[in-house]
Structures are given as structure tokens and as C-alpha cells.
Amino acid sequence: MLGSGFIARFYADALSGQRRKDTLHIVYSRSEERAQKFAAEYRLPYHTTSIEEAVNHPEVEVVVIALSNDLHLPAVEACAKAGKHVLCTKPLGRSGAEAKQMLELVEKAGIMGGYLEDLCYTPKFLKSLDIVQSGGLGRVLWAKSREAHPGPHSDWFWNKEQSGGGAIVDLGCHCIEISRNFIGKNIKPVEVMCWAATQVHPIEAEDNAIGMVKYANGAIGQFEVSWCFRGGMDLRDEVMGTEGTIWLNNFLRTGFEVFSAGKGGYVAEKAESNTGWLFPVGDEAHELGYSHMFTDMFECIEAGKQPGETFYDGYVVNAIIDAAYISAKSGIWEPVQLEEWRGDTDTGTTLAYTSYDAQYYLIKEEVLPDGQKKIILKDKNTGEVIRKDLEPA
């Protein structure tokens, strides 16, 4: 485990909980004290203040990167050199170019590069994706994902050089990959339109942003991200298809509400209060996707397969984020620059309108309050739109 901070602890909880057979051997932290504390708490036999020592340790087969964004690339370099499989937290890089370097490093070294995008592994997300992929929603037209909270917990996130940006690179990476999964990873993201602003904090990066990602088949992915949101951590997705809709709430108000006069402690990630009506989360590591994520990663390493989220996915996400930053400045749609596209090349949509009969397309049918059925039709040849009233059945 490289890192002993916030996410390293979530990962360790997921990895050492529920009688897992995977074992954490060694933790790296630049602070001897924190490395020792982490090792003691999670019962690791070794700890170190050297990344090289951790990665090259003979008992280590897989390295988990849980370091600040600026250290992902050097950590991947160390893993490639040592020939150890590597699982890297999000965002993969601070830019598409950095992510591409990491992708090339793992592919040249012949090691697996797993992208730890936990929000694409939450139980609700996995079920939703299954519904979408089995056709339950028809053709996906729009997929929106929102992540908003009052801002991250460590200094380096607020330093643009170390983090690579603000809420877009930190939270947008989740939202973009969620929408991309629903729309279809084989569909090429082509253009981005983004608004971003620094509305509250004295920082160089954005603390609030909204963006749209246009895909080659006409579908739209929308992301809403904020470090200004008050009231905890808002994690919601919506998918709109021609045959159905999904509304998904991963965190606040998910059917578990507790009232406390304020004598308790930790409630949930980014919760702002422990007084009054609270929205705790039963098993955060599980509900945030960490358990399913590591299961997929390790099973794929054992089977020699690619996991659901790879370094290539991380690279595509970073390339979309790059375009979002350019668009936020230019104010226009900007192209997604993908040096390497591995998905479908012909993704043009053939519109299949619903026929009412030989002469008409069906636009809409509705039963009105008096029981009458109203039908709106379009003539296939003349284009005329007509209304037909059917008597109550």
C-alpha cells in the first residue's frame, strides 16, 4: 500500500475486512510514524518510508497507489520497473498526457494496470449497469452524474500543481466514467462543453463546475461537481433511455435516517454535523464500491484478464477532463483529443421511429383524465402532424 492517508484506510478496510484471503504486506508513508501506525492498526508485518522498498518487497505481488495525484506517475514507474501489477486510485493522471504515460508504462512492462474507480463498482451502480446492458432502458440518450461535497480534507488537493485542478479533476473523473459506462465504453467521446468557476475558496482551481460530454452516437453525458456544496456528500446519477429511466442515490437520504442530540462521533464521509437528523451509511467501504472493485481487480489478475476499469479507461477520462478545462476557458465545445481510441469507429445512430401503421409514425399516445385516448401521428411521406382521438375503452 503506497500511502497511509484517507483513501489508503478505506482500501485497507475493504481489503482486510470480511475474511478476505488477500493480505496487506507492507505500507509506504513518507512519515515513519504514520507508516508504523497504519501497519499496527491493519496488522501489516512491514512498513517503510521508501516507495522502492515497498514495491520491490519480495512478498508483494500487487501494488495499490493511494498517494496524492502528483505521485501517481512516479509510483507507476516504480511498479513497471519492478514488474509488479499496479492498481491506481482516481484520477489516473493530472492530465491526459500523464495518464497516457502510465498506460504505456504498464503495457510495456506486461503488468496489469487497474483503475480504482470505486463508484463504478457500487452495488447500485452494478445493478443499474446490468439493467442498461440488458436493454432495460432501450437506447441511452443522457446519463448524468453528480458529486458534490464541502471540499476535500488535505492541503495538496487545493494546490493546482499537485492535484492537476479542482473539482473537475477530483470529482468529475468519477462522474465522467459513470456516464461513460452507461452510454457505452465503446462509444467515442467527441466533444465537451464546460462551465467552471471559483466561487467560494481562495484557490486557483475551480470549486464548482458543470459539463456536457457529447458521444459519437449523439448521447450526452453530464457532470455536476462541486467543492462548495453544504450538507455532506451528494452522490447521484440519472440515466434516461428510450425505454426507461434510472434515478440512483448512493449516499445521502438512501432510506437510513438517524436522529441524534449530538453525543455520537463519525457519521459518514464528508458529513458536516453529528447533531439532528443524520444520514449515516451502513457499510461505507461496501456501499462506495471498494469491495466489489478489489474483487474484480484480484480475480482479473489471477485469470490474466482485464478488469472492468483499466488504465486505458483512466486515460480516456483524463482526456475528457483536459477538453473540459479548455472549454471552460474558451466557452465553446472543444474536441476530446484521444491519441489512441480502442472502441468502435462507426457509432452513428440509425434512428428507428415507431410505426403506427403503413402511413404514420407514432409520436405520442396518452390517456386523458376523462379516459379518452389521444394519439399524435406523423405522416411518413408528407410530414404532417395530426391528432387522433380514440373513445374510452
Ligand X SMILES: NC(=O)c1ccc[n+]([C@@H]2O[C@H](COP(=O)([O-])OP(=O)(O)OC[C@H]3O[C@@H](n4cnc5c(N)ncnc54)[C@H](O)[C@@H]3O)[C@@H](O)[C@H]2O)c1
- Whose Cβ is closer to ligand X: residue 6's or residue 247's? 6
Quick one: which segment of 64-72, 201-209, 330-338, 362-370 binds ligand X (CB under 6 A)? 64-72
Separation CA 285–CA 240 (nearest Å):
28
- Whose Cβ is closer to ligand X: residue 290's or residue 298's? 290
- Whose Cβ is closer to ligand X: residue 137's or residue 271's? 271
Q: Within 157-216, which residues bind ligand X (CB under 6 A)?
A: none
Residue from the set 12, 14, 24, 29 that interacts with ligand X by CB under 6 A: 29
Quick one: which segment of 2-10, 250-258, 294-302, 356-364 binds ligand X (CB under 6 A)? 2-10
Residue from the set 154, 245, 337, 359 that interacts with ligand X by CB under 6 A: 154
Cα atoms in the Cβ-side hemisphere of radius 13 Å centred on 61: 7
Q: What is the DSSP string of 169-198?
A: IIIIHHHHHHHHHHH-TTSPEEEEEEEEE-
Residue from the set 39, 66, 194, 285 that interacts with ligand X by CB under 6 A: 66
Q: Is 30 in the site for ligand X (CB under 6 A)?
A: yes
Note the residue count of the chain.
393
303 exposed, middle or buried (CB, 10 Å; 0-12, 13-18, 19+)? exposed
Amino acid identity of residue 58, one-letter, is P
Q: Is 7 in the site for ligand X (CB under 6 A)?
A: yes
In whole angstroms, the minimum distance from the beta carbon of 66 to ligand X comes to 5
Q: Total residues contacting ligand X (rule CB under 6 A)?
A: 19
Q: Is 4 in the site for ligand X (CB under 6 A)?
A: yes
Amino acid identity of residue 317, one-letter, is V
Is there a contact between 295 and 301 (Cβ–Cβ < 8 Å)? no
Residue from the set 69, 145, 208, 217 that interacts with ligand X by CB under 6 A: 69
Q: Which residue is nearest to ligand X (CB)?
A: 5
In whole angstroms, the minimum distance from the beta carbon of 290 to ligand X comes to 8
- Cβ-Cβ contacts under 8 Å for 172 (sequence gap 6 or more): 147, 209, 211, 223, 225, 321, 324
Q: Which three cell numbers stand for residue 80?
A: 513497471
Separation CA 301–CA 113 (nearest Å):
10
Amino acid identity of residue 94, one-letter, is R
Q: Cβ of 297: how many Cβ atoms within 10 Å?
A: 23
In whole angstroms, the minimum distance from the beta carbon of 383 to ligand X comes to 50
Q: Is 151 in the site for ligand X (CB under 6 A)?
A: no
In whole angstroms, the minimum distance from the beta carbon of 285 to ligand X comes to 11
In whole angstroms, the minimum distance from the beta carbon of 253 to ligand X comes to 20
Is there a contact between 154 and 163 (Cβ–Cβ < 8 Å)? no
In whole angstroms, the minimum distance from the beta carbon of 30 to ligand X comes to 4
Quick one: which segment of 15-23, 68-76, 186-194, 277-285 binds ligand X (CB under 6 A)? 68-76
Q: Cβ of 236: how many Cβ atoms within 10 Å?
A: 18
- Whose Cβ is closer to ligand X: residue 27's or residue 183's? 27
Q: Is 140 in the site for ligand X (CB under 6 A)?
A: no
Q: Which residue do the cell numbers 474507480 mark? A: 117
| Helix, strand or coil, per DSSP, at residue 378 | strand
Bond from prior residue into 91 cis (ω within 30 degrees of 0): yes
Q: Is 156 in the site for ligand X (CB under 6 A)?
A: yes
Q: Is 146 in the site for ligand X (CB under 6 A)?
A: no
Q: What is the dihedral of CA 259, 260, 264, 270, to 10 degrees?
A: 50
Q: Is 90 in the site for ligand X (CB under 6 A)?
A: yes
Q: Is 5 in the site for ligand X (CB under 6 A)?
A: yes
- Identify the sign of the CA torsion 118, 124, 130, 132: negative
In whole angstroms, the minimum distance from the beta carbon of 61 to ligand X comes to 21
Lay out the site mask for ligand X across 100-139 (x = CB under 6 A, - = otherwise): ----------------x-x---------------------
Say how far residue 360 (Cα) sits from the centre of its chain: 42
Q: Is 149 in the site for ligand X (CB under 6 A)?
A: no
- Whose Cβ is closer to ligand X: residue 41's or residue 243's? 41
- Whose Cβ is closer to ligand X: residue 8's or residue 137's? 8
Separation CA 362–CA 375 (nearest Å):
8
Applying CB under 6 A, which residues contact ligand X?
A: 3-8, 29-30, 66-69, 71, 89-90, 116, 118, 154, 156
